[in-house]
């Protein structure tokens, strides 16, 4: 049997803002492939993508670190909108994606091929579980609620 330290590494990434059941399922499923490295997008990325930050990086990191199978929660220079910087730095065995991610909408695919990082799709399920969205796939109702509660 292989030494525990020789276990493969599986990187998952996302905003994790807030951490929800879909994230837990993805991380739990990823742990079946090896030690899980969680790369959480920056607060700046969240603000660029959504216009607000619900939970700070440090809050998300604390929660994510408490999930069984997670060996590292790391930040990333995601100023280019990707987690390529973390993939180059950490070079995991696998890059796992769940929910709404697939080959056609994951900008890290080419880098993973170059670095020989195996891609895993549909980890933890294929259903998207993020903020509730309206008929236009917008998180505006949540954003509006948060902005009103800040007043």
Per-residue pLDDT of the chain in tens (151 residues, 90 and over written 9): 456 668 999 999 999 999 989 899 999 999 999 999 999 999 999 999 989 999 999 999 999 999 999 999 999 999 999 999 999 999 999 999 886 666 666 889 999 999 999 999 889 876 554 555 444 444 445 555 555 555 5
pTM of the model: 0.81
Give the pairing type, strands 94-96 and 118-120: parallel
6/13 Cα distance (integer angstroms):
22
Q: Per the structure block, which two tokens stand in for 2?
A: 């292989």
Residue with tokens 């276990």: 7
CA distances from 56 to 13, 91, 131 (A): 16, 26, 16
**Is the Cβ–Cβ distance between 96 and 112 less than 8 Å?**
no
104/128 Cα distance (integer angstroms):
16
pLDDT at residue 131, rounded to an integer = 52
Architecture of the structural domain at 7-149: 3-Layer(aba) Sandwich (3.40)
Order of all β-strands in the sheet with 118-120 = 70-74, 35-40, 9-14, 94-96, 118-120
pLDDT at residue 126, rounded to an integer = 63
pLDDT at residue 137, rounded to an integer = 40
Residue spans of the domains in the chain: they are 7-149
Residue 94: which of 74, 117, 60 has the closest Cα?
117
The total of other beta-carbon atoms located within 10 Å of residue 84's CB is: 18
- CA 129 to chain CA mean position, Å: 12
pLDDT at residue 106, rounded to an integer = 84
Three-point CA angle 15, 20, 24, nearest 5°: 95
pLDDT at residue 35, rounded to an integer = 97
Q: Per the structure block, which two tokens stand in for 120?
A: 């895993």
- CA 125 to chain CA mean position, Å: 14
């Amino acid at each position: 049997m292989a030494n525990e330290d020789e276990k493969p590494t599986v990187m998952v990434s996302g905003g994790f803002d807030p951490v929800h059941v879909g994230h837990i399922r993805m991380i739990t499923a990823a742990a079946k492939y090896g030690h899980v490295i969680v790369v959480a997008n920056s607060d700046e990325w969240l603000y660029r993508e959504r216009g607000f930050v619900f939970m700070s990086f440090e809050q998300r990191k604390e929660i994510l670190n408490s999930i069984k199978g997670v060996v590292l929660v790391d930040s990333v220079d995601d100023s280019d909108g990707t987690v390529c910087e973390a993939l180059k730095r950490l070079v995991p065995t696998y890059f796992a994606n769940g929910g709404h991610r697939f080959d056609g909408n994951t900008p890290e695919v080419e880098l993973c091929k170059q670095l020989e990082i195996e891609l895993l799709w549909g980890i933890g399920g294929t259903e998207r579980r993020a903020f509730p969205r309206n008929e236009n796939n917008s998180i505006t109702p949540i954003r509006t609620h948060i902005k009103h509660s800040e007043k």
